[in-house]
Each structure stands twice: as C-alpha cells, then as structure tokens.
Structure 1
Amino acid sequence: MPELAPHIASVPPSGIRHILELSFALDDVLSLSVGEPDVPVAPHITRAAIEAWERNETDYGPNGGIAPLRAAIVDKLKRDNAVSVDTEQVWVTVGATQALYQAMTLTLAAGDEVLIPDPGYTTFSMNARMLQAVPTYYSLRPENGFLPDLAELHRLVSPRTRVLIVNSPSNPLGTVFPRPVLEQLLEFAREHDLWVLSDEVYEYFTYGEPHVSMASLDTDDRVFSVFSLSKTYALTGARVGYLVTPPGLAPTMRTVQEAAISCVSTPEQHAAVAALIGSQDCVEDARLHYGDNLRQALALLDERGLRYLEPRGAFYLWIDLSHAAGGDVADWAERFLLTDRVAVAPGRAFGRTGEGWIRVSLASDLAQLLEGLRRLPAPPADA
C-alpha cells in the first residue's frame, strides 16, 4: 500500500489523551486530567440551539460565521478586551483548536520556525509538525516565575523564525502574563518581525490578576487572537471558537475557511450568539466555583506538603511530583491511574520543562477533586 507523508510520523501524540483514553477502560476513576467544565450549560444557551434546529436552520452558512454571531463577537471584543475590529476580522471556527491551526497555516511554511511556550498546550507543537514547521521551545521556569525569559527568546530566534505563540492565561500553568510582560513580548516580535499568535481561551477565569488581550496593545497589525466559548460557557462539545485576524485578510480567510471547514454548524452558532448577548451570570458562577475549588485544593496541598504553582488564571493546578515520578512523570501518571484510579495529566505532555510535574483540573466536583489530591503521594518528611 502507499505510504503516508513522511512528516506525519513527526507529529507527537497527546500525552493527555493517552491518559484519558486509558481511563475510559477503567471503573471508578477520579478524572482530573482534562479541562472539562463540570458546570451546566445555561438554559438560554441550549434553548437557542434547540430553537434553531426546530426552525430547520441546517443549511450552509457564511464561511466566516452567521452575521449575528460575528456582530456579537465584535461587540464583546470592544467591551471586554479593549480590541476594536470590523466584522471581516472575525472568523468563527470549530473551537479554538481550528482557530490555532488556521492561524499557523496562514503564517508558517515548511521549514519555518515557531516559538512555543514550554510547558505549553500540546496542540501548539502538534500543529507545527502537521505543517512541516519546526517548534522551538522557550522555557517557563519556576526560577523566573513561570514567565518568559526575554534573553532566552533573543537567543532562540533565528532567520527562519516566523511566529511567537503566547498563551495567557496559560494552559497548563495558570499563569497570567502582566501587561508589561506582554508589551515586552510585542516589542520582541517587532524587533524580529514576527507574527504573534495569542491564545486567550481562558480569558474570563482569572484570580486577582486582570487579563490583558495582546491585540489591545498591538500597534502594527501582527497579532492573531484565538478565543473559544468552550471553557467560558461549558460548551466543549459544541465546538465554537473564533479567530481574530489583523485587518486586510478577508479574501484569504474566505478561501482557507472554505478549504478547511466551509462553515461551523448553524445551530451551535445560534447558541454562541445567546451566550455572548445573554446573561453572563453563568460565567461568574463558574469563576466563583473554580475559585472556591482552588482555595480548598491549595489548603489540602499545603497540609500535605506538596509543592505547587498557585494559578492566577485558567482552572488547573500545576503540582510538583518529582519526588515520586522517578524522572518519568508520564510513566508514573499511567501507573498512578492503574493503581490509585486517579487520572492526572503528566507535565511532560506539555513539554520537556514539565518533567516531574502534573496538571490537575479544578473544573471538577469538589469532593472528587479533594479525594484525588489526597491520593497523591506526599513528599518525604525531610524533603
């Protein structure tokens, strides 16, 4: 039989998905490995989708999204992100996943290099390899407050570098980059004439640190911004996100959207309209729920002597299990799942710098979350 394209073999598998798939085959698992909101979808959102189905709104829609949704996104960006765009800069996508891939497709050619945070969301490097681009990893380390090191970025950039990926609030770390850090990253991008891809999926979930959109600081049209309704409104299965482009790309975007997806499901887009223009109480309720889970989880980790990064955003905990992982946290996480029936994401799945750490989702029933944390091995008393 014919062979697959050679570069496909270089696409790394998801270490998170491996744990998740393994957990499906087991009973009585405490699932803390994936970012699946445990809050219900607000009734006005589900009702909008149901009514669209009942009206038989199942025909093809515009490549960029239905007009009411694009208009609602333009209003939301101005209101919540201090970003002023026109409708032709907003493109509705199949979740943030397609938005990320679309932006990287537009900016990376085979052999180009892309600067990716490490630890960072797994899809960043997977997308790069799918496009035959080269991931170059910049470290987010404890000694630097898990923030980018500008000196390291300047060492890593090369004539082949085309894109800088920034993720704030961060998945998996929960760090929120302060405005001065974002300004420094944009200045770095200007100096080296790079595109910036800003992943802002967790924009509404911050704790004591305001979220700043990179596009609000952009003065020369180099920022692509990625957003999603999945986490904000507990709509992970509806698959509605959006990509905000620099101006002037509408003809190109119509072409690439048609080639990739044609359009997003119309009933789900109506749900997204209802989410954006309706009551936001569900978002605030979710933020308070995750914040309460966080406070109680941190108290338990302190009691047990486990080291962690206190998140300022998203809904994850980054916990140091190096005392138990034996230098291979992915192998440890699998054994921990099989023996203790707790699914956690191994930090190594997010990059080399994640070795020894795990990511735990706070978007969970509180009792299940705390029980899962109690089963984590505590460090030796003299550690």
Structure 2
Amino acid sequence: MLSQRCLITKDVVIPRLLAQFHAESQSTLQPIDLTQAENHLLRDEVLEIVHRELANSFLSKARQSLAGFLNAEFVPARPLEPSHLVLTSGASEAISILAHHLCNAGDGVLLAAPYWSGLDLALETRSQARAVPVDIPLQDIFSLQSIQYYEQALAASSIPIRAILVTNPHNPLGQCYPEPVLEALLQFCAHHGLHYISDEVYALCSFDHIQGAEPFRSITALTKAKNPCPTTHAVYSLSKDFGCSGLRLVCPLLAGNPDIVMGSALIANASVSSLTTAVVPKLLTHWKLHGYINENRRRLDKAYRSVQQFLEARGLDHVPVSAGLCVFARLGSRGTVQEETILLQELAKVNLKLIPGSFYHFCQTGWFRIVFSAPSWEMEVALGRLRIALDSVEEKLPGSAEQL
C-alpha cells in the first residue's frame, strides 16, 4: 500500500541512518560524537542571542499544543499524541509529502470536481502522481449518490489509483460532508484498497447561516477501531481558521501509520520556522482562543450574507455556503462559453480578479469562485465592480436590449 519511495525510506534509508548514528555501545563512558560537522567554538556567545529553546523545545511545545487543540476540537476516536503529528510549512506541502509516500510516479488520486486547482501541483510536483477529477453533479457531491461516480472513475481510469483526496469543508463549494457520506467514502476506500486523505484546513470556518447545515466532522472522529486505520490520513492547518497564512504550520495527522510518520518527518525536517513554533503554543493556549474562533465564524457569516444578497438580487445561481471562505456562483443567466469569455474581459477592465470554475476542473461554464473573506471595504468595492462587469456583459450579449 506504500509507494516504492516510502518503502525504500522505511527499509533502507532509516535503518542505515540508525545504524550509522545510533549504534549501541557497551561502554559506560559518556559518548563523544565527532560525526556531525557542527561548529561549537562560538556556541556560547551565540546562545546569548538565540536561546536554545527557540530551536528545540518550541517545536515540541507546538506539537503538544496542537495535539491538545485538535483533541478538543475534532474529538478523534483515539486521542492524538504529539508523536502522531508531523509539522510542515503548508497544507500543500503536507499533501505533497503524503502523495510522495503513497503514490509511485504516474499513480492517480481521485478528487471530486470542482476542487481547488492548487491540489494538482501538490500531488504532481514532488511525487509525480496525477490528480484524477471525478465529475459529480453539484446536487450529488454531498450525498450517497456520489459514491457511484467514484466507482465509475476508478473503473474508467487508465492509471493505477492509490488514494482519494476529500476536502472537508469543501473548497470551493463551502459545505461540510454529512457523516454517512464520509463513512461511505471510507468504505469505498477499504473495499478497493485505497488510501483516504482528508484535507481539513477549513475545519473551524463553519457557521450557521443555513438552517440544518451539516456540522464539520473530522475523519479522525470516524475511525472507530482501537488502532487507527493506517490508510486514513488528515491534514490540518491554522492558516484559514485563524487568518494567519503567514504562519506556515500544518500537521498531517498520521496516527495509524508510523512508517509514513517517520518518512514525512524526514522530508519536512526544518521546514517550519522557529518563529512559528514559538507563536503557535501561545495562540492555541490563549484564554481568548474560543472567543476568536466564534468571532471568526460570526464575521464569515456576515461577509457571506453580503455576497449572497448580491447574488440573489441579480437572480444568480450559487451553492449555499455554511463553511469556508468562498462561494461558488454562476455569474450569468446563459451559462455559455461566450458569456463567460465576455465576463472575463469585463472583469479585467474593472481590475477584479475571479477564477472561473474550469480552473477547478468543473465541466459547466459560467461558474466562478468568489472569496468573501477580504476586508469589508474591499468586498464592497469588489461587488460594485462585479455589478459593472455583469451589466456590461448583458449589454454586449447578442439578443440583449442593447443589441435590439
């Protein structure tokens, strides 16, 4: 179930390193290690400026605080230990590392479309795996009907499929997966011998705008076995939930697979800054932490309402949002290639940047992702520019009142 790269790391690289640097000694003398090319001659002076804790204990404290935070928020079936976490410098980096260990070059990973296009790079750059979009009607993505589309994509694939990647809450659709669907996806993976990667970077960005909206449920909370499943992996980041994209810290949750934990730690070694590991424990143990989380949800809800009102006032279709930072909307009444092309031209004229759904592997034209978590004044200006662009499109389309 592991890639050839991961097997080489597990069976060759790690044993070689252990044999080279951790050989057992029968001597009772204090060991002297002259294998590491380190300069100790100026260390005392430097330590007066940069305390040893900044390089060492903060990393441990970051893992401890993250484990405690995730246990409280995710309520995993088995409590997470600091040793289950590997700290990386970003969610894309974490997914890239997972793909490196799970996929051989040319292997595929199934993703329900639409999905954030950055996942293509995360999967393909290091591991040379391939993202395989699964075209699912919007009304079926969060239902049990979606499983049949995964089955069809798996059967039709011309390359080996090693995993599925599920973003929950979803980007760009802004909803959480119902628990029965998550369970069904896990069963699908178990039946076909696939790994399950859960991208949970929007975990705490859910809000109560839609009555009866599904709450977020981490995949770690659905692993009922006493020992976590070695083929289920989750990725969590602070960047979305706390608005701190500059603090590059992500942790793949790998409780059930020590081989991948060790291999991932080797790749991610020293990728997280000391400043970040110093700040994170303070943030996650701050007495206002839950107040920050609730305030973030309130502000996201308010920001989404303003965009929702704009879309509804113009009669534009969109996927109702209950989580995340963006809304997926059809910006036009016709849904034609011509309409989308003209809209992109008009958006460029008013200097408003939106990404069409085709960039997210969505098969229908006219759909765009609108991020609504920008500052409120900027969103007000953006919606004004979008109004101008949409009005211009209506004037230029054949058959419009301006053309008659």
Tell whether the structures are fold-level matches, with TM greater than 0.5: yes
Q: What are the Cα deviations for residues 52-88 of structure 1, in whole angstroms up to 9, with x where unaligned?
A: x9972588846x9811111111112211101122222
Query: In the superposition, relative to structure 1, how do residues 160 and 380 fare at CA in structure 2: closer, same or farther (>3 Å)?
Result: same
> How many Å separate the matches in 1 of 2:98 and 2:54?
23
> 3-state SS of the aligned residue for 1:353?
coil
Q: Which amino acid aligns with 2:272?
A: V
Query: Which residue number corresponds to residue 131 of structure 2?
Result: 135
| Residue 212 (str. 1) matches residue 217 (str. 2) | yes
Q: Could you state the TM-score of these two structures normalised by the residue count of structure 1?
A: 0.77
> How many Å separate the matches in 2 of 1:57 and 1:349?
46
Please tell me the root mean square deviation across aligned C-alpha atoms, in Å.
Answer: 3.0
Query: In the superposition, relative to structure 1, how do residues 145 and 262 fare at CA in structure 2: closer, same or farther (>3 Å)?
Result: closer
Bigger RCO of structures 1 and 2 (CA < 8 A, at least 6 apart) = 1
Q: What are the Cα deviations for residues 280-324 of structure 1, in whole angstroms up to 9, with x where unaligned?
A: 222221211110111122122211211111112101011102547
> How many Å separate the matches in 2 of 1:168 and 1:329?
31
Query: In the superposition, relative to structure 1, how do residues 138 and 57 fare at CA in structure 2: closer, same or farther (>3 Å)?
Result: farther
Query: Which residue number corresponds to residue 29 of structure 2?
Result: none
| Residue 265 (str. 1) matches residue 273 (str. 2) | yes
Query: In the superposition, relative to structure 1, how do residues 338 and 65 fare at CA in structure 2: closer, same or farther (>3 Å)?
Result: same
Q: Could you state the TM-score of these two structures normalised by the residue count of structure 2?
A: 0.73
| Residue 72 (str. 1) matches residue 68 (str. 2) | no
- Displacement of 1:235: 1.1
> How many Å separate the matches in 2 of 1:122 and 1:54?
46
- Displacement of 1:89: 1.1
Query: In the superposition, relative to structure 1, how do residues 161 and 56 fare at CA in structure 2: closer, same or farther (>3 Å)?
Result: same
Number of aligned positions between the proteins? 329
Query: Which residue number corresponds to residue 43 of structure 1?
Result: none
Query: Which residue number corresponds to residue 18 of structure 1?
Result: none
> How many Å separate the matches in 2 of 1:200 and 1:362?
19
Q: Which structure is larger by alpha-carbon Rg, 1 or 2? A: 2
> 3-state SS of the aligned residue for 1:117?
strand
The answer to whether the 8 A contact 2:169-2:177 is kept is yes
Q: What are the Cα deviations for residues 150-201 of structure 1, in whole angstroms up to 9, with x where unaligned?
A: 1111112258211010111111110210111111111111111111100000
Query: In the superposition, relative to structure 1, how do residues 58 and 258 fare at CA in structure 2: closer, same or farther (>3 Å)?
Result: farther
Query: In the superposition, relative to structure 1, how do residues 157 and 145 fare at CA in structure 2: closer, same or farther (>3 Å)?
Result: closer
Q: Which runs of 5+ in 2 are unaligned?
A: 1-46, 209-213
Q: Select between 84-93 and 156-165 the one with higher mean Cα deviation.
A: 156-165
Query: Which residue number corresponds to residue 358 of structure 2?
Result: 348
Q: Which runs of 5+ in 1 are unaligned?
A: 1-52
Q: Select between 371-380 and 344-353 the one with higher mean Cα deviation.
A: 371-380
Q: Which amino acid aligns with 1:240?
A: L
- Within the candidate set 99, 105, 108, 2:103 is matched to 108
| Residue 358 (str. 1) matches residue 368 (str. 2) | yes
Aligned runs of 1:1-383 on 2, under 5 Å?
Answer: 56-57=50-51, 61=55, 66-83=59-76, 84-130=79-125, 131-144=127-140, 147=143, 149-158=146-155, 160-208=160-208, 209-218=214-223, 219=225, 220-249=229-258, 252-278=260-286, 279-280=288-289, 281-323=291-333, 326-327=336-337, 334-353=344-363, 355-374=365-384, 375-376=386-387, 377=390
User: Percent of counterpart pairs with the same letter?
Assistant: 20
Query: In the superposition, relative to structure 1, how do residues 263 and 128 fare at CA in structure 2: closer, same or farther (>3 Å)?
Result: closer
> 3-state SS of the aligned residue for 1:164?
strand
> How many Å separate the matches in 2 of 1:65 and 1:366?
35
Query: In the superposition, relative to structure 1, how do residues 292 and 162 fare at CA in structure 2: closer, same or farther (>3 Å)?
Result: same
> How many Å separate the matches in 2 of 1:328 and 1:96?
36
Query: In the superposition, relative to structure 1, how do residues 173 and 333 fare at CA in structure 2: closer, same or farther (>3 Å)?
Result: farther
Q: Select between 121-130 and 98-107 the one with higher mean Cα deviation.
A: 121-130
Q: What are the Cα deviations for residues 85-122 of structure 1, in whole angstroms up to 9, with x where unaligned?
A: 22221011102121111111111111212101211121
